[in-house]
Amino acid sequence: SPSPGLFLLPEEPRAAAPVDFLQELPSCQSARRRRGGTRERRSAPPGTTGSRGAAARTLQQERGEQPTRPAREYPLSIAEKRTLRDFQRADTEHLSRWKKWKKTSSKSLKKALSEVKGLSSYLVLWRHDIHSIEEKFGTGIQSYFSFLRFLVLLNFIIFILMFSFITLPVIISKYGIFNSTSVNISPKNIEDNCTIYEPSGNKGLVYFYTYLKDLLSGTGFLEVTSLFYGYYTIDAVWISIMRYNLPLAYLLVTFSYLALSLLWIIKRSVEGFKQNLVHDADPFQSYCNKVFAGWDFCITDPNAARLKHRSLQCELQTDLQEEKLKQKIAERTMEEKLRIYSLRIFINIIVLAILSGFFYSIYRVTVFSQENSNDIDNVNSQINLLVQYLPSIVITLANFMGPLIFSFLIRFEDYTPAFEIQLTLMRCVFLRLANIGVLLFSLWSQISDCGTDKCKPCGYNYKLYPCWESDVGQEMYKLMIFDFIIILAVPLFVDFPRKLLVTHCSCKLVQWFGLQEFGISDNVLEIIYGQTICWIGTFFAPLLPAIATIKYFIIFYIKKISLIHTRKPAARPIRASSSNFFFFLVLLIGLNLAFIPVGVSIARIPSSKACGPFRNFNTSWEVIPDTILEFPTGLQQVLFGMASEAFAVPFFMIICIIMFYFIALAGAHKRMVAQMKEQLVLASRDKMFLIRKIAEAQR
Amino acid sequence: ESGSGAMGGSASLLPRDALGEYQELTFLSKQEILLAYKRFSELLPKEERENACTARIPKSHILMLPELRANPFQHRICHVFSTSETGDDSMSFEDFLDMLSVFSDSATSDIKSHYAFRIFDFDDDGTLDRKDLEQLVNCLTGQGEESRLSSAEMEQLIQNILEESDIDKDGTINLSEFQHVVSRSPDFASSFKIVL
């Protein structure tokens, strides 16, 4: 579209300007010199180091105003970089001693850092495996395995945190190491009924089947181990003369693992996103990104290269068609638009209805499972296990059927193909994360079910849930175990038989069905679902991150084997940057969702009085105000002042003002960029015009 | 691919001061340089392996490396990094190191985009014009008649690319425009990478 300034000038015929003039322009000369002067190299007689040195020197003088960069950051060959480095060294000869010492020390520091980096690259987990996957399948699929590695590390660090600050002191005190003892203060002013808690534990001889059942459902012998909240029924630990405040530590470690996860995720997602967002075009959909950064230079396998060529061709053609489709959409008539919008509203209502159906069934099943599994009647142990796992089974079924239904329905909504994929993905994300929310909500409705005075003395339903935190922990544990079983079972019982069928049976139907694609988004949603469960469950079951670490460790190898042997790569290419963005976005959503149940449990629901470190407090949160009251009065006033309205309202207003300032600044920058672009276009036209005039005048 | 093999006999053949100098002049680490030396000498016939530092390998041998074998830009890469006086695109060890340095993880995006521009500039005239872009897209979609885009699609695609990247609207993409558009491309750093 022509810029407004050009309306004043008549359109000059765009004949080509003489090429030799263009070659003599200063900007062209500097670009050629920066190339290292291949032409000059080839035409110069051998042995003329002087000319190469001159080229390097002028190159450095050009950038004289900027601080000199190390030689390796110049786009020259090694021989030229050598001469440049010698010149730089000669230049620094006449600097003062202080500057020389600074230069040499910074150089040796950089060298030491690069040595450390080189050595520590060997410590990276699965370096070789991920490199071979990258070579065979490209960077898109490799990014999924990098996510798995990230989650293994994250869970391991969280486990170390929880173990060293919570489990270790309790274990030390229980075995009396370092002269430690534990302090047990029975709760005052509480009815005795609330403090009765008798987990079955290891009572004598048990059948092996009961042992297995306890392992799978977290009851029985597992309930009294350090895995669950109920083990930590200690109020303080004395380690020789130091008093270790366990309730405060428990709460602070919970906050810190949530904060650590948040900071680490934000740091990782910003790393891969170091570009300015001044422009408003979508960076993932830009053609330049697809063409200039389209080929994965790390692919070594010829088959993979062939697939990549085909998928690139497919992608470019689809995008070009989509662009034409967008033009058609813009030309829709009013009645067509009305019809399509009403159809979309109708289908969205159907989607909402289906979601509510799933949520209601999860609610009913959870209530049923909680009511029936707490019966003392353990005769029908198999049915009992099934009843206990019923919520997990229903959630997994919903997670499986949801995407199928959504991808069927979205065809009627008449969106562009790219948007269809995105919308289906968002609906699946919402379904998965909301399922966990509904499960927790139904659990809480049971725990806080205060009809008919069931929770009068203690504030919660003490008869069914004497130690309700352990119960929630058990539910999260069951969800995690079942998720793991499903991820193990699908390759074993679905993918491998399918692969066998496809390779050995040549009937047309089977061949048309083919192998399953390695869908990155489905796999990513799976592991994020598991990670959200881990984040929520760690407050109620402190050793859950250890189980998550082992789970993701094993999943890496399962997915790798399944990818290599039983899956075919996706037809539509996955780019590392967009899958990176998707992964960290959904991970952040999962983390933010995890804040809600943990926050509600800490702040709203009264902590159980029969188990756990918070027996002597109303809610778990009360540890913090209690501890602050023991601080000196000055500090107390400051802290209470920070939490009051007199501080919060001005603070909020200042944040708003700063935000508005940055928004205005961004708008100003955008306008300036647009103006500069216009000026560049005008300058280029001026240049062509002048060159043509000069060429004419010369004739 | 692992670096442990390079710590064997070949380490004694590459002199220490040369190793230090290469570490200073490229973005490669010590292990990567030693591994590159090992892979380079493997491409030479046995008699010439003693003087691997000064030998030149013809283009056909370099293209046998698995990292370059499947790459549609293999000829351009050899041409751009070769400092051969005779123009036969043969590569010395230093050219090989230059190439690996530019394609390594730690290279600055400035360097990468500079060399990417040179690789994509098929006619070596200092700008990416329509013919260069057409050849580039054909490289991406594969050799062979059925894998090329139709001329209408190619026209539309090149139009879109020029719209996004040609700031001064002269119909070609020069170096600074290319560097500008590539700096905003989120996939460039991860795709423009070769690791032995």
Span A655-666, pLDDT tens digits = 999 999 999 999
Of B32, B116, B164, the CB nearest to A287: B164
Of A46, A78, A114, the CB nearest to B98: A78
Residue B170: inside a domain: yes
User: Mean pLDDT throughout B123-131?
Assistant: 90
Task: Output the pLDDT for position A203.
Answer: 63
Q: How far is B47 from chain A (nearest CA, A)?
A: 26
Task: Output the pLDDT for position A221.
Answer: 80
Residue B57: inside a domain: yes
CATH number (domain holding residue B166): 1.10.238.10
Q: Which of A643, A672, A687 is the last residue of a domain?
A: A643
CB contact under 8 A, A313 and B26: no
Q: In what order do the strands lie in the sheet with A242-244?
A: A180-183, A236-239, A242-244
Q: Helix, strand, coil % (nearest 5) of chain A?
A: 75, 0, 25
CB contact under 8 A, B184 and A275: yes
Count interface pairs A-B at CB distance under 8 A.
Answer: 205
CB contact under 8 A, B156 and A320: yes
User: Mean pLDDT throughout A319-324?
Assistant: 87
User: Mean pLDDT throughout B12-27?
Assistant: 82
Which residues on B lie below 8 Å from A137 (Cβ)? none
Say yes or no to pLDDT of B175 above 80.
yes
Interface test with B, best of A43, A72, A686 (most B CBs within 10 A): A72
Task: Output the pLDDT for position A506.
Answer: 76
Q: How far is B98 from chain A (nearest CA, A)?
A: 7
Q: How far is A309 from chain B (nearest CA, A)?
A: 5
Nearest residue of B to residue A132 by CA position? B1
The whole-angstrom separation of Cα A277 and Cα A173 is 54
Residues A531 and A587 in one domain: yes
Task: Output the pLDDT for position A618.
Answer: 85
CB contact under 8 A, A298 and B193: yes
Write the pLDDT tens digit of every residue in A554-588: 999 999 998 888 877 776 777 777 778 888 889 99
CB contact under 8 A, A131 and B1: yes
3-class DSSP state for residue A331?
A: coil
Interface test with B, best of A78, A271, A578 (most B CBs within 10 A): A78
Residues A352 and A239 in one domain: yes
Residues B90 and B130 in one domain: no
Nearest residue of A to residue B128 by CA position? A292
A422 CB-contact burial (10 Å; exposed 0-12 / middle 13-18 / buried 19+): middle
Residues B127 and B74 in one domain: no
Residues B118 and B54 in one domain: no
Name the domain count of chain A.
3
The whole-angstrom separation of Cα A269 and Cα A261 is 12
Say yes or no to pLDDT of A379 above 60.
no
Please count the other Cβ atoms lying within 10 Å of the Cβ belonging to residue A108. Answer: 10
Residues A266 and A156 in one domain: yes
Nearest residue of A to residue B79 by CA position? A38
Interface test with A, best of B4, B19, B22, B25 (most A CBs within 10 A): B25
Of A78, A279, A323, the CB nearest to B97: A78
The whole-angstrom separation of Cα A660 and Cα A564 is 51
Say yes or no to pLDDT of A44 above 60.
no
Residues A156 and A119 in one domain: no
Which residues on A lie below 8 Å from B99 (Cβ)? none
CB contact under 8 A, B195 and A298: yes
Nearest residue of A to residue B168 by CA position? A681
Sorting pLDDT into bands at 50, 70 and 90, what band is B149?
confident
H or E segment at A238? strand A236-239
Write the pLDDT tens digit of every residue in A522-556: 889 999 999 999 999 999 999 999 999 999 999 99
Residue A302: inside a domain: no
Task: Output the pLDDT for position A1.
Answer: 41
Residue A583 structure tokens: 């992964």
Task: Output the pLDDT for position A592.
Answer: 92
- Residue-number span of the structural domain to which A138 is assigned: 127-281+332-643
Of B98, B111, B126, the CB nearest to A77: B98
CB contact under 8 A, B70 and A299: yes
Say yes or no to pLDDT of A206 above 80.
no
Of A82, A128, A286, the CB nearest to B164: A286
Task: Output the pLDDT for position B3.
Answer: 40
Q: How far is A569 from chain B (nearest CA, A)?
A: 17
- Asked whether the beta carbons of A424 and A407 are under 8 A apart, the reply is yes
Write the pLDDT tens digit of every residue in A113-164: 878 887 787 778 888 899 888 888 888 888 899 999 999 999 999 999 999 9
Task: Output the pLDDT for position A181.
Answer: 76
Residues A115 and A143 in one domain: no
Task: Output the pLDDT for position A37.
Answer: 42
CB-based contact (8 Å) between B120 and chain A? Answer: yes
- Asked whether the beta carbons of A239 and A172 are under 8 A apart, the reply is yes
Task: Of A79, A51, A44, A84, give the one whose Cα is nearest residue A68.
Answer: A84
Task: Output the pLDDT for position A51.
Answer: 41
The whole-angstrom separation of Cα A28 and Cα A689 is 17
Q: What is the pTM of this model?
A: 0.83
Residues B39 and B61 in one domain: yes
Residue B140: inside a domain: yes
CB contact under 8 A, A291 and B115: no
Residue A474: inside a domain: yes
Nearest residue of A to residue B111 by CA position? A75
CB-based contact (8 Å) between B116 and chain A? Answer: yes
Task: Output the pLDDT for position A415.
Answer: 85
Per cent of chain A over pLDDT 90 is 28
Residue A389: inside a domain: yes
Residue A404: inside a domain: yes
Task: Output the pLDDT for position A478.
Answer: 92
3-class DSSP state for residue A672?
A: helix
Task: Output the pLDDT for position A11.
Answer: 41
Task: Output the pLDDT for position A495.
Answer: 86
Q: Which of A95, A123, A151 is the last residue of a domain?
A: A123
CB contact under 8 A, A77 and B26: no
Task: Output the pLDDT for position A283.
Answer: 64
Q: How far is B41 from chain A (nearest CA, A)?
A: 19
Residues B63 and B141 in one domain: no
Residue A25: inside a domain: no
Residue A290 structure tokens: 């697809």
The whole-angstrom separation of Cα B180 and Cα B168 is 13
Residues A364 and A382 in one domain: yes
The whole-angstrom separation of Cα A312 and Cα A571 is 9
Residues B22 and B96 in one domain: yes
CB-based contact (8 Å) between B5 and chain A? Answer: no
Who has greater pLDDT, B74 or A516? B74
Which residues on B lie below 8 Å from A575 (Cβ)? 186-187
Task: Output the pLDDT for position A463.
Answer: 76
Write the pLDDT tens digit of every residue in B55-92: 888 888 888 888 898 899 999 999 999 888 888 888 88
Task: Of A68, A37, A70, A62, give the one whose Cα is nearest residue A51.
Answer: A37
User: Mean pLDDT throughout A51-77?
Assistant: 62
Q: Which of B103, B121, B148 is the last residue of a domain?
A: B103
Residue B141: inside a domain: yes
Interface test with B, best of A292, A320, A321 (most B CBs within 10 A): A292
Q: How far is B59 from chain A (nearest CA, A)?
A: 18
Angle at A397 between CA A395 and CA A402, to 5 degrees: 95
Residue A117 structure tokens: 């980096």
CB-based contact (8 Å) between B27 and chain A? Answer: yes
Of B83, B149, B174, the CB nearest to A41: B83
Q: Which of B57, B74, B103 is the last residue of a domain?
A: B103
Q: Which of B55, B79, B103 is the last residue of a domain?
A: B103
Say yes or no to pLDDT of A226 above 90.
no
- Residue-number span of the structural domain to which B129 is assigned: 109-192
Task: Output the pLDDT for position A560.
Answer: 92
What is the complex's ipTM, to 2 decimals? 0.90
The whole-angstrom separation of Cα A234 and Cα A612 is 7
Residues A250 and A356 in one domain: yes
Which residues on A lie below 8 Å from B85 (Cβ)? 41-42, 46
Q: Is the dihedral of CA A539, A543, A547, A552 positive or negative?
A: positive
Write the pLDDT tens digit of every residue in A6-43: 333 344 444 455 566 666 677 666 655 555 444 333 33
Which residues on A lie below 8 Å from B53 (Cβ)? none
Residues B94 and B135 in one domain: no
Residues A204 and A258 in one domain: yes
- Asked whether the beta carbons of A523 and A144 are under 8 A apart, the reply is yes
Residues B142 and B92 in one domain: no
- Asked whether the beta carbons of B140 and A100 are under 8 A apart, the reply is no
CB contact under 8 A, A681 and B97: no
Q: Largest Cα–Cα distance of chain A, in whole Å? A: 111
**Which of A86-90, A440-444, A446-450, B143-147 is predicted most confidently?**
A440-444
Residue A76: inside a domain: no
Write the pLDDT tens digit of every residue in A76-93: 888 888 888 888 888 777
Task: Output the pLDDT for position B154.
Answer: 92
> Using CB atoms and an 8 Å cut-off, which of residues 28-67 of chain B contact chain A?
29-32, 66-67
Residues A631 and A690 in one domain: no
Q: How far is A320 from chain B (nearest CA, A)?
A: 7
Q: Largest Cα–Cα distance of chain B, in whole Å? A: 58
Q: What backbone torsions phi and psi does residue A581 show, to the nearest 5 degrees?
A: -60, -45
Name the domain count of chain B.
2
Residues B149 and B133 in one domain: yes
Q: How far is CA A663 from CA A548, A649, A670, in A?
A: 41, 21, 11
DSSP conformational letter for A12:
-
Task: Output the pLDDT for position A61.
Answer: 55
Nearest residue of A to residue B2 by CA position? A128
Task: Output the pLDDT for position A139.
Answer: 83
Of B108, B169, B187, the CB nearest to A681: B169
Residue A694: inside a domain: yes
Residue A168: inside a domain: yes
Q: Is the dihedral of CA A519, A523, A528, A533 positive or negative?
A: positive
Residues B94 and B134 in one domain: no
Residues B89 and B118 in one domain: no
Which residues on B lie below 8 Å from A283 (Cβ)? 184-186
H or E segment at A395? helix A381-409
Q: How far is B190 from chain A (nearest CA, A)?
A: 7
Who has greater pLDDT, A505 or A624? A624
Bridge partners, residue B56, by sequence: B92
Nearest residue of B to residue A273 by CA position? B186
A585 CB-contact burial (10 Å; exposed 0-12 / middle 13-18 / buried 19+): middle
Residue B2: inside a domain: no
Residues A496 and A631 in one domain: yes
Instruction: Please provide the average confidence, as pLDDT, over all residues in chain A.
Output: 82
Q: Helix, strand, coil % (nearest 5) of chain B?
A: 60, 5, 35
> Using CB atoms and an 8 Å cut-off, which of residues 126-145 of chain B contact chain A?
126, 133, 136-137, 139-142
Sorting pLDDT into bands at 50, 70 and 90, what band is B133?
very high
Which residues on B lie below 8 Å from A577 (Cβ)? 186-187, 190
